[in-house]
Structure 1
């Protein structure tokens, strides 16, 4: 079955009536606040996320390439903005709450440590004796505890629906551990169910943006070529369609044109599949979406297979490329050394982290050191590594 690589559906820009499956009212905040007369609760959540320190740091946290390799590669910030754009488009097509979907898209990577997945693997290995490390749990921790900018509470005091979407980013959490388990005991998030349709939209938008933009970044870096990508059914079809539509298409425009068409095809596919699933379920409200046996926002079977082919291509040709492997190993080593030095010598932590860490070598100290490192940008992590390992470094 050939993917639709043309224009969006005819009614893409047509306003649709609010549906029963959209989240229509918040269950509130952990710390009660008077609502803003000019903004909905989720518009307010989105604005708090944008103004947070963790969001600003995403500018210098990378996806695959370390920050110094070039100004045009994606960072966690540009990725999050791209995910938010896709999420808003899908939410509009499905008559969902666009602001909630956008807030979740902007917040979904707040817990990522420096150096992308390499950093996550390094911290997970360091924290294995203490429950491991998971960036989804760390995102929840950032918005509920680690952000310290409001007089009345720690965190951002986001709405229940936003916190639920962050905790259940990858679906129901049947056996919660670590911070998600601890927070759920304080503020139950119904972890055993699916998240709202808006949260499902944000999660799938992440997949769409991640794979397609890694394709474009890999081409820009010269790790693989357009000829290599032509072997992929969906991307190859998109590239062929772009060349048919634009005679003598320059190579430097072929990749973004291909990616644009693949993203459009994926969005159209998700909208059609989600509409079919929601119609079959016929939910009365958002809670029936949560209680459904399977997600209502998903790729069709054919598109899921094509998306998997792109993912497999990227794993084989990009994520395992020797240049990426070298950067990965150096990044892991830097974070592991930082963790070992600070866990064994928390007196080297700056204020106020030193006071929070307590006694060297304890699980409590390990958690504080992990939080400190996870909040670093790539640039700060490398500089901190140099300060702690170079005898001639100052500071």
Structure 2
């Protein structure tokens, strides 16, 4: 039976570099991955991107930045627990338990970098734009079928892979992260277009896709170096890197438990309900009395949330180790938290969040407005770049020329001119718009549509 092997899965080679990974006593290659991500401009922009509450006026509410830091913390714990257990077998000389934690933590830091403004509704807005906009329809006719599928099913995960392998430090190109971290980052190691008749496997890793056609060869390189199991000889499709399950679990644990805490702090959920849900996850009713000794309700909830996260981490790490052989063989393909003891309670928390904190009137109104903002920006900038590409800078309309002066040079193409490839032109404009913060997207839309002027 084909099985992935830990020594190869922990590949420290850097994508885009032909040199072997250099040793640095103070930091492992995987710790350097985290440093490169944290100091990237894309990571800084997460401070003004929606986690749950778009354009929130409460400084307590978590943004994508605080969410990513919390997920990375949980991921490091998960990875270190797993790494310690695997390391105790003595099969990985030179590999430390902390290397597992560092890989999973770095991948978790990057896991939301590709998300556009307005959270998940921003992804929907880009998909809707590509399907319904007259501007998009005109551009669509020039694309291959798999290129069309990339945009019709636009994915923040694929945009994130593009960002860290190509867009950040474009002359490098990309952050040149280790293959192990890039493998752990990619929850969906499959391209966007795989016909139903070719789908020999269905699971959590096939629900979405993880890379565009433009970065397909990058991921193929990662998969080869890490020794991932190939699912199809005809399509770009592999089994997940095992550590991607831990990144997914860290994200799932945080957005269920931490978002629930935010819902209480903002008054959408009662104290008693949140307390009891957290106690159910922990599975120790005696902690209720201990928590009630604390003076303030918010302190009690913070205490119980911390214990609930700890419980979920231990259960998820335990399940990973229990299923290790099946994961390495590519046979296990489901979210870990769906199968832990606290899984049913975590699912209940998720559903309550959907009913309450994810459905607030203000949030829905702003997310709905995001369709107009992102669709409008894409209409204007794609029209402009197509006009200049078709007619040349000298003969394009004055408005097109003005609009392109607002676009960063790296989003235009080689020679600071619109790319001659229509697929690349569309991707570059989506790079530009999806990379915006929530505030900047709204501000720029209002200005170029004449709703407001600079300084007003």
Normalised by the size of structure 1, how large is the TM-score?
A: 0.82
For structure 1, which segment, 208-217 or 44-53, has the greater mean C-alpha deviation from structure 2 after superposition? 44-53
Q: Name the structure 2 match of 1:110.
A: 113
Unaligned runs of 5+ in 1: 1-19, 282-287
Q: Does residue 220 of the first structure (1) align with residue 220 of the second (2)?
A: no
Looking at structure 2, the residues matched to 81 and 235 of structure 1 have their Cα atoms a distance apart, in angstroms, of 26
1:99-143 alpha-carbon deviations (Å, 9 max, x no partner): 111110111111011111121211122234543310100010001
1:123 to 98, 106, 126: 126
The structure-2 alpha-carbon separation of the partners of 1:320 and 1:56, relative to structure 1 and needing over 3 Å to count, comes to: same
Q: Name the structure 2 match of 1:276.
A: 322
1:55-90 alpha-carbon deviations (Å, 9 max, x no partner): 111111120112342111111111111111111111
- Classify the secondary structure of the residue corresponding to 1:302: coil
- Classify the secondary structure of the residue corresponding to 2:53: coil
Q: How does 1:1-395 map to 2 (within 5 A)?
A: 21=6, 23-26=9-12, 28-33=14-19, 35-38=21-24, 39-95=27-83, 96=97, 97-128=100-131, 130=148, 131-132=151-152, 133-148=154-169, 151=171, 153-169=172-188, 179-188=211-220, 189=223, 190=228, 192-229=237-274, 232=277, 235=280, 241-249=286-294, 250-278=296-324, 281=325, 289-295=327-333, 298-299=336-337, 300-346=339-385, 347=400, 348-349=403-404, 350=406, 351-352=408-409, 355-356=412-413, 358=418, 363-390=423-450, 392-394=452-454
Shift of 1:181: 4.0
Does the CA contact (< 8 Å) of 1:239 and 1:257 recur in 2? no
The structure-2 alpha-carbon separation of the partners of 1:123 and 1:360, relative to structure 1 and needing over 3 Å to count, comes to: farther
Does the CA contact (< 8 Å) of 2:116 and 2:123 recur in 1? yes
Which one scores higher on RCO, CA 8 angstroms, separation ≥ 6? 1
Q: Tell me how large the CA RMSD over aligned residues is.
A: 3.1
Does the CA contact (< 8 Å) of 1:193 and 1:291 recur in 2? no
1:195-231 alpha-carbon deviations (Å, 9 max, x no partner): 3332221111010011111101111111222234356
The structure-2 alpha-carbon separation of the partners of 1:31 and 1:320, relative to structure 1 and needing over 3 Å to count, comes to: same
Does the CA contact (< 8 Å) of 2:49 and 2:63 recur in 1? yes
Does the CA contact (< 8 Å) of 1:108 and 1:139 recur in 2? yes
- Classify the secondary structure of the residue corresponding to 1:246: helix
Looking at structure 1, the residues matched to 56 and 188 of structure 2 have their Cα atoms a distance apart, in angstroms, of 30
Looking at structure 1, the residues matched to 177 and 284 of structure 2 have their Cα atoms a distance apart, in angstroms, of 42
Does the CA contact (< 8 Å) of 1:111 and 1:136 recur in 2? yes
- Classify the secondary structure of the residue corresponding to 2:362: helix
The structure-2 alpha-carbon separation of the partners of 1:389 and 1:80, relative to structure 1 and needing over 3 Å to count, comes to: same
The structure-2 alpha-carbon separation of the partners of 1:361 and 1:322, relative to structure 1 and needing over 3 Å to count, comes to: farther
- Classify the secondary structure of the residue corresponding to 2:307: helix
For structure 1, which segment, 200-209 or 24-33, has the greater mean C-alpha deviation from structure 2 after superposition? 24-33
Looking at structure 1, the residues matched to 20 and 103 of structure 2 have their Cα atoms a distance apart, in angstroms, of 19
Normalised by the size of structure 2, how large is the TM-score?
A: 0.72
Looking at structure 1, the residues matched to 443 and 41 of structure 2 have their Cα atoms a distance apart, in angstroms, of 19
- Classify the secondary structure of the residue corresponding to 2:50: coil
Q: Name the structure 2 match of 1:11.
A: none
Looking at structure 1, the residues matched to 356 and 215 of structure 2 have their Cα atoms a distance apart, in angstroms, of 39
